[in-house]
A and B are shown apart, each in its own frame.
Chain A
Amino acid sequence: MSTTTPSAISVQTIIGLEIHVQLATCSKLFCGCSTRYGQPPNTQTCPICQGLPGTLPVINSQAIDLAMDVGLALEMELVSGCRWDRKHYFYPDLPKGYQTSQFDLPITRKGRLEFRDPTNAETICSVRINRAHLEEDAGKSLHGEGVDGGTWIDLNRTGTPLLEIVTEPDLRSAQQAKAFLQQLRTILLYIGVSDCNMQEGSMRVDANVNLRIDNSNETVATPIVEIKNLNSFRNVERAIEFERDRQLQHWRATGERMGQRPKQTRGWDADREITTVQREKEEAADYRYFPCPDLPPVVLSVEQIAERRGKLPRLPQQWKSDLIRVWKLSDYDASVIVEQGRDMAEYFEIVARISQDGKRSANWITQEIMRLLNEQQRAITQFPISAQQMGELVAAVANNELDHARAREIFALWLEQPLSLGEAKQRLGIASISSDEVEQLVADIVAQHAAAIDDYRQGKKQALGPLIAQAKKLNPNVSPAKFREALLRVVEG
């Protein structure tokens, strides 16, 4: 975003992101080891991911499928014949001495992602995706945890499939970067390619940031800084904001421009809320990429792509327009539900299908259910009331079999006990009443409250309120609407 500063310059922040997403495969990229998180160190390894001499990698076809799904979801080009390359560097948690990745022929490239600009709701931002490539993760170095404070190596993560998604530098503010990532995460969750759990490292972000400064006479760009390993959306936002201010200050002090200094890598210190230098690219390793001779190129046939396209789950955008079109939800309600994730959207769809009342279903979900889930920090999949039950309840209200208050009583009971609708009604003494019973009730009330009836007839409309309440007290099963209707027939008749 542009800001005009007192000295009449305008500053634009230029941001490109690299997102590492751990794919939700059952096994690792090149061997059969499990990818489960949080297991005891070095219990999910084999000779292949340990990099023992003589072992060979074999590609996990599920990783290819999931990468294709991402490519299809982000409207990218899928590259048949994509290659594997080795990226060389020495580090103890990289047992082969190279990482198998994709260098010049990634599995998918050239896509885009659209999202609403958080700073200007009228604007749709479109960010170009440069590429997404597959690679294996390295192990973990546990520094200071060994005997004598030494380093221990855990190879459980070694060989876990990652998809690295690289954007073009199309983002212009920290808020946009955050919104982009939220939208990307929602899509990845909907198509089920990753759990995108940032705490567990299954989604990690690097941000490339620099400034374009418009002076009155020229435009200058500051040197690019790469902020590594951001593990929450908040950190992405804060780190970019910090870096924008730091670079502007540095430019004012030194006038340093792009090209006058090599690309710098910085880390985000979340406690001190600053970025710190990790290394200058000049001293960076030469990775000596070359095609991995152990892995043939991946051929994606037209049929295979078509099949995958056919199986691709509905994307959030599609869900949203379906909710608006089929269930007549407002744009706002549809967004709220869709943003909760696929489980919530599916929950809504079941409730709406059973109740045949989209608006009421949406109200229950966005008001009652989401409030509770929020309070208890739970997911919809852990919610005690099933979508089927909820559908029956909303249907009963929609068909005037229950009033809203009684429905809420049932809802509250269901949170405690797994009962059927019938059982819950019985437990709460809810029964349907005949129109004769309603008329008898009206007659009783009219007889007992002659003064109030007179008030009403003289134009004091609110006089009926206490009568309806009184009726409900006498018989909790009476529908206030029906009672009111019958009462009016008598007093106005």
Chain B
Amino acid sequence: MTQQENLPALELSRRIRSGDLSVVESTRRSLAEVAQRNPTLNAFVEVWSDAALTRAAELDHKRVSGESTGPLFGVPIGLKSNLCVTGQLCTCASKMLSNYRPTYSATVCQRLLDADAILLGRTNMDEYAMGSGTEYSIYGPTRNPHFASGPNAVLEGYSPGGSSGGSAAAVASGMVPLALGSDTGGSIRQPAAFCGVYGLKPTYGRVSRFGLVAYASSLDQIGPIATTPEDLELLFQVIQGSDRLDATSLSREKVQQVEATLGHKSLKQLRVGIIREHAEQDLAPTVRRALEETKEYLKSVGATLVEVSLPKQAQAIATYYLIASCEAASNLSRYDGMHFGHRAQVPEKNATLEQVIAASRGEGFGAEVKRRIMLGTYALSHGYAEQYYQQATRMRQAIRQDFAAAFAEVDVLLGPTTPAPAFPIGAHRQDPIAMYLTDQFTVSANLAGLPAISVPIELTNFQPDESRLPVAVQFHAPPCGESRLFAVANALHERNQSAKLGAEA
């Protein structure tokens, strides 16, 4: 099977519906692709072949018998390992949950099934979604499909980014046209940027979090990863929508009301804000050029560029890591080895409850998870909460206000997704802060609850010594402004296609 046959989901589903391809055939092709590429990439950590093929046969039967078909009919999808599916392992890439099988399905997974998708398996991630490289995993690191093999391969390979690195690599390598990730501080957008695919972090509350194992509840959102903006929107439309099982999910009326006030804008009418603070940062040359080329293109199609300021950007990373760690410390309290998850075998005959809990958590969690639990516990402790947690909460409010002020001027904001392209696996192993800084442009969207998209940019020319790793730009929109993001991404997708043709010519 050749690379050209890795069809986008829309096209794949169209061909299946028209009878050109059966679901079983398509599923087999996907499984074959996984079998071929996964040993190098380690993007999938478990493939549900039997369940997928059984379901594929059911869907074929459904089509033949003339029943109506869902929007993702027959499309294979990869799920990040922190999404619950009844009876399937959900490990969060942690020893703590290595044998954990949920007794219920996440709302998003149920919606995928209702849309007639094929759940192909689960993808690698950083343990409990804490990390930016898909390296902190009991399954070992995932490799970025770019330069993972072939003449230009580097020894260890490049990181696919994280924490949804498995999902991004699975889509970028063509194993599946679509995957779900979760984004707490950039965990969809950063891997999408590193792997050269599209990734969306939806508005907080647009996608139900029910069945997503929580990392930081006020920041977590599930979102799609795809190779085209159309596919991205397709998957988003299937998973979004209010859910009575998630008290933070936005009601349909509320979304419609906000969407109506945003209105529809053509590219010509679009006012694009250039975030001054992002442009002033130390950016890799290819990232800077991706930004410049994007600006040139948007100007050429008639959009207006306006420089805007987000003065509190410098505080975003510190604010994010405080709030995320506090919520993580709380959310991860339930892993005490009592009701589910790893329980340590404590040798002492009369071990105290405290000893069993401490040993279970000590053995079950990896270093990065422990680091964040300790940080969060400290920041919430009596006498420190005011100084850290409360302070971070006030800063979060100020960051929100920055965005609100900017969106009074412009329709979308443009900036880089990451300061640099993918780093080699292991590059930040000794320096967690350096790893945290790869999220510096993505965390604000989570703090402010805004939708943001990472769009890969095909550069029109490269310097001879320059890295050919994918680069991307990021757009932010006001709450519920996803359709603006899809519109901009669609335009840039066309531009990318012609840039690619130009490069090949």
Contacts and interface: CB of A to CB of B under 8 A. Distances in A.
Given A47-B102, A90-B333, A290 B385 contact: yes
Given A51-B339, A54-B214, A58-B247, A88 B330 contact: yes
Interface residues of B, number: 46
Given A54-B106, A98-B333, A288-B381, A294 B90 contact: no
Contact of B336 (A47, A55, A92, A289): A92
Contact of B212 (A54, A290, A295): A54
Given A47-B102, A88-B333, A96-B333, A54 B247 contact: no
Given A52-B102, A293-B218, A288 B380 contact: yes
A193 B334 CA distance: 31
B336 A52 contact: no
Given A51-B339, A290-B389, A56 B247 contact: yes
B339 A50 contact: yes
B245 A56 contact: yes
B245 A95 contact: no
B326 interface: yes
Contacts of A92: 336, 338-339, 353
Nearest to A286: B382
A493 interface: no
A302 B382 CA distance: 36
Given A96-B333, A98-B330, A53 B339 contact: no
Contacts of A286: 381-382
Contacts of A55: 104, 210-211
B330 A290 contact: yes
Interface in A289-313: 289-290, 293-296
A57 interface: yes
B116 interface: no
Contacts of B329: 288
B217 to A, nearest CB: 4
A431 interface: no
A294 B331 CA distance: 10
B209 interface: yes
Given A52-B340, A54-B84, A97-B336, A90 B357 contact: yes
A372 interface: no
Contacts of A288: 329-330, 377, 380-382, 385
Contacts of A56: 209-210, 245-248
B210 A290 contact: no
A54 B211 contact: yes
B380 A290 contact: yes
B68 interface: no
Contacts of B97: 53
B212 A96 contact: no
B244 A97 contact: no
B104 A47 contact: yes
Contacts of B90: 53-54
B103 interface: yes
B247 A296 contact: yes
Given A51-B339, A95-B338, A293-B327, A58 B245 contact: yes
A97 B385 contact: no
Residue with the greatest number of chain B CB neighbours at <10 A, chosen from A56, A57, A92: A56
B213 interface: yes
A153 B336 CA distance: 14
Contacts of B210: 54-56
Interface string B321-351: 0000011011011111011100000000000
A53 B103 contact: no
B382 A293 contact: no
A54 B214 CA distance: 6
A443 interface: no
Contact of A54 (B102, B333, B339, B382): B102
A289 B382 CA distance: 9
Interface string B66-106: 00000000000000001110000010100001001011101
Nearest to A92: B338
A59 interface: yes
B333 A290 contact: no
A254 B210 CA distance: 57
Contacts of B353: 90-92
B223 to A, nearest CB: 16
Residue with the greatest number of chain B CB neighbours at <10 A, chosen from A47, A88, A96, A97: A97
A131 interface: no
Residue with the greatest number of chain A CB neighbours at <10 A, chosen from B210, B334, B357, B382: B334
A109 interface: no
A157 interface: no
Nearest to B389: A290
Interface in A72-116: 86, 88, 90-92, 95-98
A96 B326 CA distance: 15
A467 B121 CA distance: 102
B246 A53 contact: no
B209 A58 contact: no
Nearest to B220: A293
Contacts of A289: 380
Nearest to B247: A58
Interface in B383-424: 385, 389
A51 B331 CA distance: 10
A52 B103 contact: yes
A51 B214 CA distance: 12
Nearest to B377: A288
A54 B327 contact: no
A378 B479 CA distance: 61
Interface in B13-71: none
B334 to A, nearest CB: 5
Given A58-B244, A296-B247, A53 B338 contact: no
A101 to B, nearest CB: 13
A96 B82 CA distance: 17
Nearest to B390: A290
Given A53-B213, A293-B248, 20 more contacts: A47-B103, A52-B102, A52-B340, A53-B97, A53-B214, A54-B106, A54-B212, A56-B246, A56-B248, A58-B244, A58-B246, A59-B247, A92-B336, A153-B339, A288-B329, A288-B377, A290-B326, A290-B385, A293-B216, A296-B248
The 3 closest A-B CB pairs, nearest first, are A97-B333, A293-B218, A293-B217
22 contacts: A50-B339, A51-B334, A53-B90, A53-B213, A53-B214, A53-B334, A53-B340, A54-B106, A54-B211, A54-B214, A55-B211, A56-B246, A57-B247, A88-B330, A90-B333, A90-B354, A92-B338, A95-B334, A96-B333, A97-B333, A288-B381, A293-B218
Interface of A: 47, 50-59, 86, 88, 90-92, 95-98, 153, 286, 288-290, 293-296
